[in-house]
Structure 1
Amino acid sequence: MASAAGAGRILAPPVEQLRHLAAQLRLLLPGVRVGEARETTEEFNPEVFWRRLNEAAVKVSGEATTLTTVFSRLPVPSPQETQRICEQVHVAIKAVIAVYYSLPKDEGITLRKLVRSAAVDIVDGMAQLLEVLLLPPAQSPENSDLISCNSVWVACEQVPKIPKDNKAAALLMLTKSVDFVKDAHEEIEQAVEECDPYCGLLNDSDGDNSDSHNAENSVLGFPSNQDSYWSEEDQELIIPCLALVRASKASLKKIRILVAENGKKDQVAQLDDIVDICDEISPSVDDLVLSIYPPVCHLTVRINVKVRMSCSVTVFLSLNLELGWQPASYSHPLVSALH
């Protein structure tokens, strides 16, 4: 934003100024998502960094409150007052981004990702607020401006909760991976328990000829809903897949415990590697679970197991041994489940 209007300069109407600011914030987002740490000769001071980040988040939260208060009622501010408010919002957002850029890579990629995510949420939340304030009253849902402002507040309030070092950040991400795999495991186990190939086939005695034909086939032992149940061949394939999902969950829990008990804060790169591999295992498990829902494509299931899961597990184990947290003879549950 321009710092001040020149003499005789005609300012844009308030709505246009808000639209311009929203567009500027949207243009900042791609740079934040891929932004690199800025080179500096100053020694990194964690206490200063976190204080500055917290202060910047508080400032943005206050500016969001001002925007909501001023522009959600009539009359709207003058162009001059709107310019002042927009400049303050822009400065506050840039301050958050600048603090994020000051976090060096050697503090940990996992930690940087968390701080980056917080910065993105703050910028995106502010842009959303501006866009809602631009809507005509007839198109703006009741209190939608307050809801959007609340998203900015929530993003700012999350800043003090960010882990303060890479080990803590790694533990947070590992916990999320464990929870993700746990949910996938519980979902597929419930589906297996509830599976009944004959469910709903014999309940409608008043059906048409097609229904009668289906019921006849069912009585003969040939269910007609093959797309919604597992055949005997499918069930034979599901058993080892479930074992693999359970083993993945157990392995992620174990590595989280190992990181908590044996991981050191100065093992920055190793912890980042562990998190990266676990991030691969979680979606691999999700893909595997999705692929064993009926109708089952056996080739897809085997590809998910042999290609995605095997690759992730191999690197996972090599990192585990590289860190010296387990002896080479350690029997890993994923190894047995893959064979």
Structure 2
Amino acid sequence: MACGGPAAVSSQLSSPVKDRLMSLQDNVKIVTTQLTSGSSTRQHGSVFSRAKYWSDLVSRANLVSDWCTKLAVFFSKPPAPKLEECGPVIHGIENSILALVSVYYSLPPAEGTTLNKEVQKSVIDILNGVETLSTIIITNGCNCESDCLKETGGVWNSCERISQLSKDNKAATLRIFINNLQLLRDACSELEEVTTGDGMDELELALGDGPCNDDDDVTGGSCDLTDDDKLLIQSCTRLVKCCPEGVANISRSITKYGDVTTSDGIEQLDAAATIVMTISPCVDNVVTSLYPPINQPVVMQSVAELKDKMLVLVEKCRNFEFCKAAHFLNLDDMKKEILDSFESISKH
């Protein structure tokens, strides 16, 4: 909601208060930059306790939330507070942020890159919320109660999400797999709508606005799906379907056999998470390439890239202990289906 109306004198911030808030804003930016760049030094304790780590992280996040609530109350309506009134609260926010970040840095890298990135993102979300809250107050003083309370709610939500984070690298990796699996299933659904629908109308419905939605056909090709186009889409759909099926089976393997008690187990989980995140963008490229007018060289380039990424996933999985232990996972069959699907596409 935009802030409007002339401000009363008592609602404007004094120079000392504004300067103090700007100092808070600058300090938060510095910490955020350090977190993003990884320039700060990690703490190295002798023993790491997961239970203590998560208890401490949640409690520090709650402190940030509490202090931000107090700040919002001060500035939610006139009169604007004096520095001696709001200064201790601003100081409390700074201390709680430093405590939160300190706990984050006590998470050893050996616990897993995937887990570390998930926690890092959530802590940065909190810092961004605090920075935005301070910006609103600096810009509008006490004239934007709704905006101030709305952003405070955003900080609350970010702080509450800390308790919902993955607690180890196995859970963090599974979260990556589940999120990507949903994206892959959505892509399959889109292509199935195209192949079972009636030409262009179904394509527009499934894929959204495409080049043929414009009045002028700038591509110079036909916007109608030919019979060959439909057969090509069906063949591409077969390859795309290999992706969620394979990812789902590997996800089952991680659920049952993923190991976070050894460094090798944790590293293998990280490797799996890194690879699976490359699959969905390739599937998106395949789907996009099937907009009419279909350019077959572009389609072939996109499906070749997808095939290569899936084969990398298959071959890497051969060395992962959680895949070796999963008797229900047949990587040879997966590879054969990928290659057969690609060969079918290549015949068009």
What is the TM-score when the length of structure 2 is the normalising length? 0.79
Q: Is the 8 A contact 2:80 2:142 kept in 1?
A: no
Could you tell me which of 101, 111, 114 is aligned with 2:115?
111
Q: Is the 8 A contact 1:32 1:120 kept in 2?
A: yes
- Partners of 2:41 and 2:54 in 1: how far apart? 15
- Partners of 2:136 and 2:286 in 1: how far apart? 40
Question: Could you list the per-position Cα deviations for residues 77-97 of structure 1 after superposition, in whole angstroms to 9, with x for gaps in the alignment?
Answer: 112233322221111112221
Larger Rg: 1
1:62-73 → structure 2 map (5 Å cutoff): 62-73=66-77
Shift of residue 315, structure 1, vs aligned partner:
2.0
1:189 partnered with 2:192: yes
Shift of residue 139, structure 1, vs aligned partner:
8.5
Aligned residues: 304
Shift of residue 12, structure 1, vs aligned partner:
4.1
Question: Could you list the per-position Cα deviations for residues 196-232 of structure 1 after superposition, in whole angstroms to 9, with x for gaps in the alignment?
Answer: 3489xxxxxxxxxxxxxx9xxxxxxxxxx95644333
Q: Is the 8 A contact 1:37 1:105 kept in 2?
A: no
- Partners of 1:109 and 1:329 in 2: how far apart? 26
1:309 partnered with 2:311: no
Match in the other structure for 1:145: 148
Shift of residue 158, structure 1, vs aligned partner:
0.8
Match in the other structure for 1:26: 29
In structure 2, the gaps of 5 or more residues are 1-13, 203-215, 344-348
Aligned residue identity for 1:258: S
**What CA RMSD, in Å, does the superposition of the two structures yield over aligned residues?**
2.7
Q: Is the 8 A contact 1:37 1:103 kept in 2?
A: no
- Partners of 1:146 and 1:188 in 2: how far apart? 43
1:132 partnered with 2:136: yes
Match in the other structure for 2:105: 101
Match in the other structure for 2:267: 269
Aligned residue identity for 1:91: N
Q: Is the 8 A contact 1:12 1:79 kept in 2?
A: no
81-90 or 56-65, which deviates more = 81-90
**Change in CA separation of 1:37 and 1:244 when aligned onto 2, cut-off 3 Å:** farther
1:255 partnered with 2:218: no
Shift of residue 137, structure 1, vs aligned partner:
7.2
**Change in CA separation of 1:188 and 1:132 when aligned onto 2, cut-off 3 Å:** farther
Could you tell me which of 72, 90, 94 is aligned with 1:90?
94
- Partners of 2:19 and 2:273 in 1: how far apart? 44
Could you tell me which of 41, 44, 51 is aligned with 1:40?
44
What is the TM-score when the length of structure 1 is the normalising length? 0.81
Aligned residue identity for 1:263: G
Match in the other structure for 1:170: 173
Shift of residue 14, structure 1, vs aligned partner:
1.6
Shift of residue 195, structure 1, vs aligned partner:
4.3
Q: Secondary structure at the match of 1:180?
A: helix
- Partners of 2:41 and 2:163 in 1: how far apart? 20
Could you tell me which of 318, 331, 334 is aligned with 2:333?
331
Could you tell me which of 280, 291, 294 is aligned with 2:292?
294
Shift of residue 62, structure 1, vs aligned partner:
0.3
Shift of residue 121, structure 1, vs aligned partner:
0.8
Match in the other structure for 2:161: 158
- Partners of 2:163 and 2:339 in 1: how far apart? 40
11-20 or 291-300, which deviates more = 11-20
Shift of residue 295, structure 1, vs aligned partner:
3.1
Q: Secondary structure at the match of 2:333?
A: coil
**Change in CA separation of 1:138 and 1:228 when aligned onto 2, cut-off 3 Å:** farther
Match in the other structure for 2:282: 284
- Partners of 1:198 and 1:329 in 2: how far apart? 38
Match in the other structure for 1:320: 317
Question: Could you list the per-position Cα deviations for residues 109-136 of structure 1 after superposition, in whole angstroms to 9, with x for gaps in the alignment?
Answer: 1111111111111111111111222333
- Aligned structure 1 segments of 4 or more residues deviating by more than 6 angstroms: none
123-132 or 55-64, which deviates more = 123-132
Shift of residue 250, structure 1, vs aligned partner:
0.8
**Change in CA separation of 1:29 and 1:137 when aligned onto 2, cut-off 3 Å:** closer
Could you tell me which of 240, 256, 264 is aligned with 1:245?
240
**Change in CA separation of 1:287 and 1:325 when aligned onto 2, cut-off 3 Å:** farther
- Partners of 2:129 and 2:151 in 1: how far apart? 7
Q: Is the 8 A contact 2:76 2:148 kept in 1?
A: yes
